[in-house]
Amino acid sequence: MFKTAIKTPNFFRTFSSLPNLTSCITSLQLSAHQANLQQGKKLHSYMLVNGFLTSPIAITSLINMYSKCNLISHAFSVFNSSPSQPNVFAYNAIIAGFIFNDMLKPALQVYEKMRLAGVTMDKFTFPCVVKAFSGCENFLGLKKVHGLVFKLGLDHDLFVGSAVVHGYLKFELMADAHQVFDEMPDRDVVLWNAMINGYAQIGEFGNALDCLQKLRADGNAPSRFTMTGTLSVLTLKGDLYNGKAIHGLVAKMGYLSGIAVCNALIDMYGKCKCFLDALDIFEVMEVKDIYSWNSIIGVHQQSGDHEGTLKLFDRMLRDKVFCPDLVTFTTVLPACAHLAALRHGKEIHASMITKGLGKDDGEDRVGDTYINNAIMDMYGKCGCMREARLVFDHMSSKDSASWNIMIMGYAMHGFGNDALNLFHKMCEVNLTPDEVTFVGVLSACNHSGLVKEGEEFLSQMKSKYKVSPTVEHYTCVIDMFGRAGLLNQAYGLLSEMPIEANSVVWRAFLAACRLHGDANLAEIAARRVIDLEPEHCGSYVLMSNVYGTLGRYEEVSDVRLNMRQQNVKKTPGCSWIEFGNGVHVFGTGDRTHLDEDLIYSELNSLYMSMGLCHMT
């Protein structure tokens, strides 16, 4: 009968004889390593049938196999079905398993059970437990565990020590971390990496780079992790020179095969504005991951290439190798907002809902607020204030950026009162308005002609809200006076404001002078603008318009001549419309569109209906 039970299935043909406990353990380790669940399950049933599960070693190996195959429920069942009280190996394996599957709290519950059961902990227990406490942001727990580690004399173990250093650094407690680090009898590359990352996190880049020097001086070979850590430091510093040096070192050490290392290089080159170098790394990579995609999309976004950003996003969707995630969406949405690419924006919103990102379920997940802010901003910039408001109203956790985005959206589209109402509500929920809020509030007053309110807000900013007005705030108010035809008030504020006026303020004022046909003030403004920014075409155009309106054509040609002498070129304006699968761009007199004939014949019939001249 026993013979039938162990009848050799295909799977076991790889074994020269029927597997015993030892060979099962070896195979389980391999299954765990390869995350080969199918093979692991076969071994499990074979071991069950053959009575191997009485062995504590089998229990530990099975827990580990299921954990590494992301089937933590099975791992926990095996742990609980342990025939005797689980030993320290089984406890360590299940704690590590929960952590591997991002379940920190259950890991700590098992740790608590282990403590109560009086199972003696060893050097394998603590790296996991320390990680769980710091991951749960439980500082007291971390402190207590550190005390226990010390009591048990495990504080000099490299694995335990580097976990503790890492834990303290998570709380940005460099002094505590440094003390543990200093007391370690030996230091390896992992421990040094923790210090490099810790210094990077608190912005002490010089110290981070010192650690890299010392690590090498100590005779350690930098690892791939050292490279990513160092590159993140250089990226934050914007240090292209040393970034290139690290790129050289990466190549020399053969780390260009590492995905994360290449991703860090892409990011470094992108942030240092070497967009082509970033692209080179990306295209040469044989294996990519979601970071690579996201990073290269980010590079396009940073370079201001919004069309390129959307094209890459489309490529990602078409290739179907990687699914866009929270980071992808947050990177792509500003491009949609910029191009007013509503279709793409809506598609992203739909995918977000399908994936449960930014969900209104009371859970305060990191990233949800940001992505909802990005969605709102996109809707706002596309002119869909109702949709933006719906997102806003359903957000379970709003930060001040959320309020600022809505206020600004209302302001830009002329809903001044909605903007101000929201501002008052923001104050009611005890959020402190900041500089950005007031740019929104003052823009709202500006675009809706709420002159009295605008004036009052500017005077209250400092006194009531403790926010010092910047040049941007003055620009809003000066622009507001100007649009309302109150040129003298605008000029008065321009002359009296405590901050030096820049070309933007003067240009806004110049535009107002043009609008209301005041050539004298326009001349003063134009002189200042041209002084401050001689290469900007806008002021020449405005000035020549002022003279044109007043019929002073000689002066118009003077301005044009001046413009030519300064070698200023006017960038032609354009309009665009999103239609079908693409964005269609049109310039003045532009005849390059493929459907030119159709478009112009439609345009002509529209002109005819409006009673306007026929276009040629």
Partner DNA sequence: GTAGGGTTAG
Nearest approach, Cβ of 221 to DNA (angstroms)? 10
CA distance 441 to 175: 44
The residue within the footprint of DNA, chosen from 31, 36, 60, 402 (CB under 7 A), is 60
Q: Which stretch binds DNA (CB under 7 A): 328-336, 452-460, 530-538, 577-585?
A: 328-336
- Scan residues 97-126 and list those touching DNA (CB under 7 A): 99-100, 122-125
CA 243 to centroid of chain Cα atoms: 21
The residue within the footprint of DNA, chosen from 47, 93, 336, 388 (CB under 7 A), is 93
User: 562-568 long-range CB contacts below 8 Å, 24 or more apart?
Assistant: 562/530, 563/537, 566/534, 566/535, 568/534, 568/535, 568/536, 568/537, 568/540
Nearer to DNA, 231 or 512 (CB): 231
Nearest approach, Cβ of 429 to DNA (angstroms)? 21
Nearer to DNA, 163 or 385 (CB): 163
Sign of CA dihedral 214, 217, 220, 225: positive
Please report, to the nearest 10 degrees, the dihedral formed by the alpha carbons of residues 605, 609, 614, 616 taken in order.
-30
Q: Which stretch binds DNA (CB under 7 A): 255-263, 442-450, 569-577, 588-596?
A: 255-263
- Scan residues 167-196 and list those touching DNA (CB under 7 A): 188-191, 193-194
Q: Tell whether residue 259 is a contact of DNA (CB under 7 A).
A: yes
Nearest approach, Cβ of 117 to DNA (angstroms)? 15
CA 407 to centroid of chain Cα atoms: 23
Q: Which stretch binds DNA (CB under 7 A): 212-220, 323-331, 344-352, 507-515?
A: 323-331
CA distance 276 to 151: 55
Nearest alpha-carbon partner for 465 in 419, 495, 498, 426: 426
Helices 503-515 and 487-496: crossing angle in degrees, nearest 10, is 160
Q: Tell whether residue 87 is a contact of DNA (CB under 7 A).
A: yes
CA distances from 297 to 290, 313, 520 (A): 11, 7, 49
Nearer to DNA, 69 or 420 (CB): 69
Cβ atoms 483, 516 nearer than 8 A: no
Cβ atoms 586, 593 nearer than 8 A: yes
The residue within the footprint of DNA, chosen from 27, 31, 36, 64 (CB under 7 A), is 64
Binding mask 142-161 for DNA (x = CB under 7 A): ---------------xxxxx
Q: Tell whether residue 290 is a contact of DNA (CB under 7 A).
A: yes
CA distance 474 to 485: 17
- Scan residues 189-248 and list those touching DNA (CB under 7 A): 189-191, 193-194, 197, 223-229, 231-232, 235
Nearer to DNA, 1 or 287 (CB): 287
- Scan residues 356-395 and list those touching DNA (CB under 7 A): 366-367, 369-371, 374
Nearest approach, Cβ of 538 to DNA (angstroms)? 27
